[in-house]
Structure 1
Amino acid sequence: MDPSATSLSMPRLVLASTSRYRRELLERLRLPFRSESPQVDETPLPGEQPAELVLRLALAKARAVAGRQTDAVIIGSDQVADFDGTPLGKPGTHDRAVAQLRAMSGRAVVFHTGVAVLRPATGFERVVRVAVTVRFRALGDAEIEHYLQAERPYDCAGSAKSEGLGIALIDAIESDDPTALVGLPLIATARLLREAGVDVLGGRAR
């Protein structure tokens, strides 16, 4: 992205993620930014609920990068599928993706997405969670296999890539922010950036 498109007073914006989905979403705000890996252990703590996990990890990712980028505005995010209180993360393998989709077949699953915005120079630090309820169709094994071979969504929480063929797995989506399901809730992100002093539409800082 071209930094010359915005005001010189605009603080550096860093996305604490190497996820291509989050990069593509953040690009919609048309602000210059760079991506940096936060290198945070995403293992849930004993007894940790999915809603708590995403808040902790979003903040941990932002803080990890903020320690190296003290003059920037940092965005951290995390997503977990909540299946009856059990967190479902990225499957990583085909077999795990099959197991996730079989379990979610005909069920409602809540996808929690946390987003944190930090501005170390001013002491600003906020984290919020956005929930999306996804109601899955009753899925046959052949449908699951066709979808996985076509999309290979092994880096998507719950194996559900709704912005692609995964939309055919779903009966309904309930949310105040449809971008949250893809991986970064832009309505909440834009609000937090404004609160941190970034004029999203004006492309400058306060």
Structure 2
Amino acid sequence: MPSSHSPQATLTSTTAAWPRLVLGSTSPYRKELLARLGLPFETCSPRTDEQPLPGESPAALALRLAQAKAQDVCQQLQIASSSDVLVIGSDQVAELHGQALGKPGDHQRATEQLRAMRGQEVHFHTAVCVMRPASQFASTHLSTVTVTFRDLSDADIDTYLLAERPYDCAGSAKAETLGIVLLERIVSDDPTALIGLPLIATARLMRDAGADALAWRRALR
């Protein structure tokens, strides 16, 4: 079942025409990012197998999983054609030398990931899918951020991991906090993409779906 999330804005009678907004993720990073729009939304955990398919590229994996998560949440909510729900699904996959780097899960695997990435360029592929079943809208976007890591010492890596414990982050790095000191350079057209949800693309897809964030905010006054 979806769980409620309450940013500052709340639904009123003036917003009855707006869809029910559901984020298909329980990631605290994605929740924090979507909350920046100041819109009322819920979260629902997708039941999606995140294993890559044989021969699937990291970018294709991110796109497929974002769409699969949005579809799964729609199914969980059992959305009827008369319901008006807008679902956002997202996924991030880190890529090093053509290979996908997932969430490390523990200190040892995070150490191995960061050792492999030191002095290297890593591509973080973040996909978002927006679905509004009532109007048969579904669209997906991929944002790729290229990150150059410093040539980190083992002591640097260990100090960072013990301080941040980023074991639930693809590539073991949280650039929005202490992880920024691990990096030499970030190349991106959307700074939020690296954190886990490309808000520029998300807002554009919401507009395309007929749910402009600024118009919605005006309705909340």
Decide which of 45, 52, 65 is 1:44's aligned counterpart.
52
Deviation at 1:39, TM superposition (A): 1.1
Decide which of 60, 85, 91 is 2:104's aligned counterpart.
91
1:105 touches 1:138 (CA, 8 Å); kept in 2? yes
Match of 1:135 in 2: 148
1:6 touches 1:203 (CA, 8 Å); kept in 2? no
Out of 182-191 and 7-16, give the one that drifted further: 7-16
Deviation at 1:58, TM superposition (A): 0.1
Match of 1:34 in 2: 42
Deviation at 1:9, TM superposition (A): 1.4
SS at match of 1:179: coil
Deviation at 1:64, TM superposition (A): 0.3
Which residues of structure 1 form unaligned runs of 5+? none
Deviation at 1:181, TM superposition (A): 0.2
Decide which of 146, 165, 171 is 1:152's aligned counterpart.
165
Deviation at 1:6, TM superposition (A): 6.6
Q: Deviations over 1:139-178 (max 9, x none)?
A: 0000000000000000000001001100000000000000
Distance of aligned partners of 1:6 and 1:18 in 2 relative to their CA distance in 1, 3 Å threshold: farther
Counterpart amino acid of 2:48?
V
Match of 1:185 in 2: 198
Q: Could you tell me how far apart the structure 1 residues matched to 2:14 and 2:87 are? A: 18
Distance of aligned partners of 1:5 and 1:149 in 2 relative to their CA distance in 1, 3 Å threshold: farther
Which residues of structure 2 form unaligned runs of 5+? 1-5
Q: Deviations over 1:102-142 (max 9, x none)?
A: 00000000000000000011100001100000000000000
Q: Could you tell me how far apart the structure 2 residues matched to 1:5 and 1:143 are? A: 53
- What TM-score comes out, normalization by structure 1 length? 0.97
Q: Could you tell me how far apart the structure 2 residues matched to 1:109 and 1:199 are? A: 33
Match of 1:121 in 2: 134
Alignment root-mean-square deviation, CA: 1.3
Moved over 6 A (4+): none
Q: Could you tell me how far apart the structure 1 residues matched to 2:111 and 2:13 are? A: 44
User: Are 2:181 and 1:162 equivalent residues in the alignment?
Assistant: no
User: Are 2:204 and 1:196 equivalent residues in the alignment?
Assistant: no
SS at match of 1:118: strand
Alignment of 1:53-132 (within 5 A): 53-69=61-77, 70=79, 71=83, 72-132=85-145
